[in-house]
Structure 1
């Protein structure tokens, strides 16, 4: 069954956290799809993935790039999975009706945004009601992620 993780972002913004999580995903040999709320946000995330570190980049693509099946990370504002991803990252309050085809679904939300926190709570309740194993992660002072629930 799909694992569902919620990452409460308080110490670092999404543009700093997401690349690290995607690197770990690729190290496992998994493919990822990142679902954001809009095409404009997809463009911003794409730029962040190319430039987040001087010595590295994350190979990825979006609809404007085409060849989804060749992309290890696919950025979309839709509920599609054209690259056969194992893991789905949902950001900016985005959601999808069915996560059962994934090994893992990861919701990342801004802990400084009351609306984002409320949305994440609703998503948490919905995932639990569907019988998924749900965990909640928060960043400690040291920068490490700690499981809180």
Structure 2
């Protein structure tokens, strides 16, 4: 499995997540977006509606519609009711339940960098886990650091 750590810099997760979600949707993959922050769930929901001028990214909030039918499901828990094999941890909090997915996108900002580093160290040497660390500059460009 692959775990990508994304240290946010110039843009919040609501602005970067739609591009990753679009690539997954284009490859017929599903995504579970996890954040315990309800206000952040609302911002991500809105961003997925407006990310592309010509259309929206198909999604729903957990428990609001037919969860199993949703290509992108926004939830407060690591529960892939949509059968997603990809999970985005959007609120900066690492959750070990994410290790049951094929790919994890762990987003964090400067306030949660210490916790992210602890999660990075905790995954070191774990069988079958490939880690990558990305840093975003002020312009929004990503650079792979590890």
TM bucket (normalised to shorter chain) is 0.7 to 0.9
Q: In structure 1, what is the equivalent of residue 82 of structure 2? A: 83
Is 1:46–2:49 an aligned residue pair? no
The 1:46–1:125 alpha-carbon spacing in structure 2 relative to 1, beyond 3 Å, is same
Q: In the alignment, which of 107, 116, 120 is matched to residue 120 of structure 1?
A: 116
Check whether the contact 2:9–2:137 (CA below 8 A) recurs between aligned residues: no
Q: In structure 2, what is the equivalent of residue 14 of structure 1? A: 13
Q: What is the RMSD of the two structures over their aligned residues, measured on CA atoms? A: 1.9
Q: In structure 1, what is the equivalent of residue 29 of structure 2? A: 30
Long gaps (5+) in structure 2: none
Check whether the contact 1:31–1:83 (CA below 8 A) recurs between aligned residues: yes
Q: In structure 1, what is the equivalent of residue 108 of structure 2? A: 109
> TM (normalized to structure 2)?
0.88
